[in-house]
Amino acid sequence: MMRKFEPADYAKALEIHQENQLPGNCLPDLYVTDVRGEKILNPLFSIRAVCEAPDGRVAMMAFSKIQGELFLILDHRVGTPEERWQWLLEFKSWVAHEAWKQGLDQLTAFVPPDIEESFAKRLESMGFQRSPYIPWTLNL
């Protein structure tokens, strides 16, 4: 049986996470502190679901977090490389602030391997971290 996640399920989520000996970042931040200092369900998770076995035991849980996928379209014919780099630094800060104002807590850029080779050092210098996980996409 599929059902919505309830706050009482959190302890089971922790138990399953620990039992599977998963890294800490494999347990999503399901709760955040609001402006009043109260713990609330993280609104960035649009899906919080539980799958129960026929006997009522929790078999699995799934969570879907709203994520900002970042795209950059850059015209190499405009400005010098130095100017473009300075503009990119400023633009990244502006875009990050706009995303934060909309409630996002991270932006992700999916970089093709042939571009990553030449752009990785710049991404790192702007604060991006290469994910140790390989993304798999389900197109709906």
- Residue 137 within a domain: no
Nearest alpha-carbon partner for 70 in 28, 98, 32: 98
User: Where does a domain end: 65, 86, 111?
Assistant: 65
- Residue 14 within a domain: yes
* pLDDT at 49 (0 to 100): 97
* pLDDT at 96 (0 to 100): 95
Whether residue 6 is found in the same domain as residue 61: yes
Give this prediction's pTM. Answer: 0.76
User: Where does a domain end: 33, 65, 97?
Assistant: 65
- Residue 35 within a domain: yes
Count up the domains in the chain and report the number. 2
Whether residue 61 is found in the same domain as residue 78: no
User: Where does a domain end: 32, 65, 98?
Assistant: 65
Q: For 64-73, which contacts have Cβ atoms below 8 Å and span 24 or more sequence positions?
A: 65/28, 66/103, 66/104, 67/104, 67/106, 67/108, 68/99, 68/104, 68/106, 68/107, 68/108, 69/107, 69/108, 69/109, 69/110, 70/95, 70/107, 70/108, 70/109, 71/109, 72/109
Q: Which two tokens stand for residue 82?
A: 């130095």
- Residue 135 within a domain: no
> 58-93: b or e for each residue (b if 16 or more CB lie within 10 Å)?
beebebebeebebeeeeeeeeeeeeeeeeeeeeebe
Whether residue 36 is found in the same domain as residue 76: no
* pLDDT at 134 (0 to 100): 85
Domain ranges, residue 109: 68-125
Whether residue 79 is found in the same domain as residue 56: no
- Residue 130 within a domain: no
- Residue 28 within a domain: yes
- Residue 49 within a domain: yes
* pLDDT at 11 (0 to 100): 94
Whether residue 79 is found in the same domain as residue 58: no
- Residue 36 within a domain: yes
Predicted confidence pLDDT, tens digits, the chain (140 residues): 999 999 999 999 999 999 999 888 888 999 999 889 999 999 999 999 999 999 999 999 999 999 999 999 999 999 999 999 999 999 999 999 999 999 899 999 999 888 898 899 999 999 999 988 888 888 88
Q: How many CB atoms lie within 10 A of CB 18?
A: 10
